[in-house]
Amino acid sequence: MLIHGELKQTILDKGPHYYDRLISEISESKIATKYRKQIALDLLRTMPNNIQFDALEAPGIQKLQEILQAYSIHNPEVGYCQGMNFLVAVALIFLSKEDAFWCLTAILERYLPEKYFNYGLISAQVDQLVLKDLLSSKLPKLFEHIQKMEIDISAITLNWFLAIFYDSVPFEFSDSTSPNSTIHEARRFYRDSAALYYWVL
């Protein structure tokens, strides 16, 4: 699995039962407690039309909650941020719980720029400025139209970037912007966003 390749040394350093240890710490962890309420609020918002995530008793919901809480313990500097739930939910469609955890870890700690999901979303906000400049230079008529409509593009596209498009477009499109194909080529974020704006407006 590509994700395991990216994190091979990290997984070896943490040991074979690292994920299980994180799970065992959830109930007593102050970090997990800090993010528990927000995670709970986001669970049913993640994929409400997917049978795996459409109810609290749905099989994917408990897994989703567990992985997000485990990650908050694993990386307390990041903790939990909206958008991470979409990444994990998509991973769970294809992967086991533990592999989905490592998939999230790889995306946040290997693929995306540092501070993408931290407080303030610093790197993600920088991406919005880059996209704005791209639209201005490559699609000036479209950009002028957006400006006339007084649209703040980051209000729309920030979530596209955080969730790697998974909650914003049909699954067939988002599958083409999967972590393996998209994050290795960051330009696709900007290109696909520009294409969506052009198509919608």
Q: Give me the residue spans of the domains in the chain.
A: 2-111, 122-200
How much is the pLDDT for 82?
Answer: 85
Q: Which residues lie closer than 8 Å to 150 by C-beta, 6 or more apart?
A: none
User: Residue 116 has what pLDDT?
Assistant: 81
pLDDT of residue 40: 97
Q: What is the pTM of this model?
A: 0.76
Burial of 105 (0-12, 13-18, 19+ CB in 10 A): buried
Q: Residue 113 gets which letter from DSSP?
A: P
How high is the mean pLDDT in each 10-residue block of the chain (201 residues)? 66 89 96 96 92 95 98 95 90 92 90 77 79 86 87 81 68 52 51 56 49
CA distances from 1 to 5, 25, 84, 127, 153 (A): 7, 27, 21, 29, 36
Note the pLDDT of residue 186. 52
Check residue 198 and give its pLDDT. Answer: 52
Residue 57 dihedral angles phi and psi, to the nearest 5°: -90, 0
- Is-contact 165 177, C-beta < 8 A? yes
pLDDT at residue number 3? 58
Give me the helix-helix angle, 18-25 and 59-74, nearest 10°. Answer: 100
pLDDT, position 182: 45
Q: Please report which helix (H) or strand (E) contains residue 98, including its range.
A: helix 97-106
Spatial contact of 21 and 73, defined as CB atoms under 8 Å apart = no
The domain 2-111: what is its CATH number?
1.10.8.270
Per-residue model confidence (pLDDT) at position 96: 93
